[in-house]
Amino acid sequence: MNIKNDSVVTIAYTLKDDSGTVLDTSKDHGDLAYLHGHENIVPGLEDALLGKVAGDEITASIEPEKGYGTRQEELVFEVPRSNLPEDEELNLGMQFRAQAQDEQQMIVTVVKIADDTVTLDANHPLAGQTLNFEVEVKNVRDATPEELDHGHVHGPEGHHHE
């Protein structure tokens, strides 16, 4: 069965940056099952996997535009220290969830700490990076109607509802 939109695809993968450093690997947390064509994974990796079958192994080098996007400097901003919880110790590089004005959840990274201000970066941590994937396709099946309705995979490797 070839990978197409609405396929449930199980992959083993390793992601490296341009210097060969491993950023993420399924060896650490198990294979990934995703729903193809539903923005579960970055567009460049979907493009590379389209039409593949179980057993195929691919490598893909994905530009930021087809990965986590380019860095946007306007997403780096300063906030008064008093806007952040007093009881929380701040460290460079720490990440937390914040709510944007449009109610969207975003992950921000602390990039600078001054006496009265903190500089936050709301770019995705992998924005601006070329993503070098090594992927093995483990399984391909059709999605169930419920999975298509939810837009994600159910079952052992997928999403679990409470």
Residues at the contact surface with Zn ion, assessed by CB under 5 A: 150, 159
Q: Of the two residues 38 and 159, which places its CB atom closer to Zn ion in the complex? A: 159
Nearest alpha carbon to residue 123 among 103, 102, 101, 98: 98
The encoded tokens of residue 149 equal 């309705």
Q: Of the two residues 81 and 154, which places its CB atom closer to Zn ion in the complex? A: 154
The DSSP annotation for 33-97 comes to: EEETTTTSS-HHHHHHHTT--TT-EEEEEE-GGGTT----GGGEEEEEGGGS-TTSPP-TT-EEE
User: Strand 32-35 relative to strand 76-80: parallel, antiparallel, unpaired?
Assistant: unpaired
Closest separation between CB of residue 151 and Zn ion, Å? 8
Residue 98 main-chain phi, psi, to 5 deg: -135, 160
Q: Of the two residues 36 and 52, which places its CB atom closer to Zn ion in the complex? A: 36
Closest separation between CB of residue 9 and Zn ion, Å? 17
Closest separation between CB of residue 71 and Zn ion, Å? 32
C-alpha to C-alpha distances, 121 to 11, 77, 114, nearest whole angstrom: 31, 7, 15
Q: Of the two residues 38 and 66, which places its CB atom closer to Zn ion in the complex? A: 38
CB-nearest residue to Zn ion? 150
What's the angle, vertex CA 44, arms to CA 38 and CA 49, rounded to 5?
Answer: 75
Q: Of the two residues 81 and 152, which places its CB atom closer to Zn ion in the complex? A: 152
Closest separation between CB of residue 28 and Zn ion, Å? 24
Closest separation between CB of residue 5 and Zn ion, Å? 18
